[in-house]
Chain A
Amino acid sequence: MKLVDAIRRAGGVIGRAIGRTHSSVRAGGRLVTEQFWPSVRPTTRRGAVLGVVGIVAGAALLAGVFFVGAVIAWSPYLETTLYPDANARAWAALDATYATASMCTDCHAPEAEKATSARHAGIGCQSCHGALLEHALTSSSASDASHDAGTPEATFALEVPTDDICVTCHAGTVGRPDTVLQVVPSEHYVSVCLQCHDPHTGISRRPLVVLHTLENLPECVTCHGPEGFKARNQRHPDVADDELCLDCHGPGRGPEEVRWPH
């Protein structure tokens, strides 16, 4: 009973409200057409022109203000509200410096082949050669893939890394697991790693062991130096001291003795 009464009362209130709104809207409409418009309507041509020009100019001015304000307020707060992932997209759109491993094999197949077959297998090219994306993009865009990397046209040569990079991984250090072969660089055969080791496989070229006797012979460099007749077989930078030659080429030195017919 009480509930029905309440509903009836509520219905009455709502109905009265609707009726009042309707009549006031109609009264407002009458107000505009009968009283307002005649009072503001321009009576002269000049007034009409001014009125139109004024409204258009006012609208343009307000739009201009709106635009300037929007540009100023085009701030991260507004952007975050409207486009929540805009900042993440900005982060995702940055430029990379390092390439991916697969980009190198197009031109450098031999080295890549070597690198995947020996102790250095699994090490990416960029671990030693640094960031290569720019090199990959410029070299692939300027020449097509048929050009071999060794031809004169290839002018994108990079700086070859020095032996310091070998020591970074292979120096004996506390904490380094035995999965990597470690040496004490000052106690290893020769201080320059690449004299013996191929960087891409890691395998050391066995130094040729001297089998001819040294008696009655001049110094090594007389024949094997740049002036000597054996110079074309010489792979080393000049060594001034015979002692150093015999460090690698002496009998019993080097990973394996090779009997090389002299």
Chain B
Amino acid sequence: MAPLNDLPNEGGPATPARRRRRRGQSQRRRSRVRVAAPAAPVVDATVVDATPHPAGLVPLSEIAPAIAAISMSRRRFLGFGLAVLGGLGGAFGLSRLFPVFEEPESAVRPIVPAYDPARKAWTFVVDTTACIGCGLCVVACKEENNVPEEDLFARTWVERHAVTTGGARYVDSPEGGIAGFPPESTAPGAAGKTVAQAYFEPRLCMQCEESPCTSVCPVGATYRTEDGIILVDARRCIGCGFCVVACPYGARYLTPAGEHVPNDTPGVADKCTWCYHRISRGSQPACVEVCPVGARKFGDAADPASEIATLVRERNPQPLHPEYGTRPRVLYLGPSVQEA
């Protein structure tokens, strides 16, 4: 680049011949019009003045005469640069004195200070032989987590599976089971059929160990915590619905418009969190709390003395649909996992 304090030159070493030529030519302006290529757009000649420069170097002074009018010495330029650096350094020092990126305080500490997520192995066991299909768990979940009211949106729901004498299986879940179940199955085609075996199957997020939802999120907004719960960062979720489609158990949905804490954001992915705000404070999820028959059990399987660990050891509950390879953390007892 041409040194700023020299006269515009035409590039190349300043040999005596070039110096002579430069002295003669620098006063005249050439107005050679550029020849346009056949397929290129032709620009009107009054817009751009096309003065040729052999090496293609157009001095700054020709493009912006105003800048060239300021003759700046090298030292002054260095001084300017040092002042800028000093300003930046001052800003840096000030930011160290008044830190901007603080650890978030106030209301984002779990109530139980001694909660160590890394030590927990939360496990959920559902006993479908005990479930009576009352739907109190669905009511409690909607109340506790402010889930949208329409029955399409359910963090947990209950299904009734009815197997007829002919071997056909009918599944119905009227409004997710929130108002209980009518005496007969409402599945299409089930009316009038004799039922050989029927049971209720409560469903919720499985918090899978190899969850498809966390691996397909394009922005990494859904993730698995240290204690094994899968959560969604509502501030980063873009609402593409990939995780909703990817869940083999249908546990997710995109929140509709309206106010729904805790996300408080419509249009983002949401799902059952096993009442993370309760379990981190030593309580149980709301659905486990209200189940009248103890069909839902929850606990820390890492604690060998806990009820859940004993249950898992003794009755060997199994996950639903292990063929998906997702390794769910919700285990089932009863006919839903006894069948092939």
Contacts and interface: CB of A to CB of B under 8 A. Distances in A.
Instruction: State if A and B touch, Cβ cutoff 8 Å.
Output: yes
Interface of A: 35-36, 39-40, 54-56, 58-63, 65-67, 70-71, 74-80, 82-83, 85-98, 100-101, 122-124, 126-127, 130-131, 167-169, 171-177, 179-180
Chain A binding surface, main DSSP class: helix
A93 B110 contact: yes
Nearest to B294: A122
A70 B132 contact: no
A79 B236 CA distance: 11
Contacts of B198: 174-175
Given A66-B91, A175-B160, A92 B294 contact: no
8 nearest CB pairs, A to B: A59-B90, A58-B87, A175-B198, A40-B79, A39-B75, A76-B235, A63-B91, A62-B91
Contacts, number: 194
B78 A36 contact: yes
B185 A174 contact: yes
B87 A83 contact: no
B48 to A, nearest CB: 36
Contact of B276 (A65, A92, A95): A92
Given A59-B91, A76-B236, A77-B236, A94 B277 contact: yes
A55 B87 contact: yes
Contact of B283 (A35, A86, A95, A100): A100
B144 A62 contact: no
Interface stretch (B21-29, B98-106, B300-308, B320-328): B98-106
Contact of A173 (B91, B110, B117, B180): B180
A132 to B, nearest CB: 10
Contact of B84 (A58, A83, A101, A122): A58
B96 to A, nearest CB: 11
30 contacts: A36-B75, A36-B78, A39-B73, A39-B76, A40-B78, A60-B94, A62-B87, A63-B94, A65-B91, A66-B95, A66-B100, A74-B100, A75-B235, A85-B117, A88-B117, A93-B107, A94-B261, A124-B289, A124-B290, A124-B292, A130-B143, A131-B140, A172-B183, A173-B180, A173-B182, A174-B160, A174-B185, A175-B133, A176-B133, A177-B199
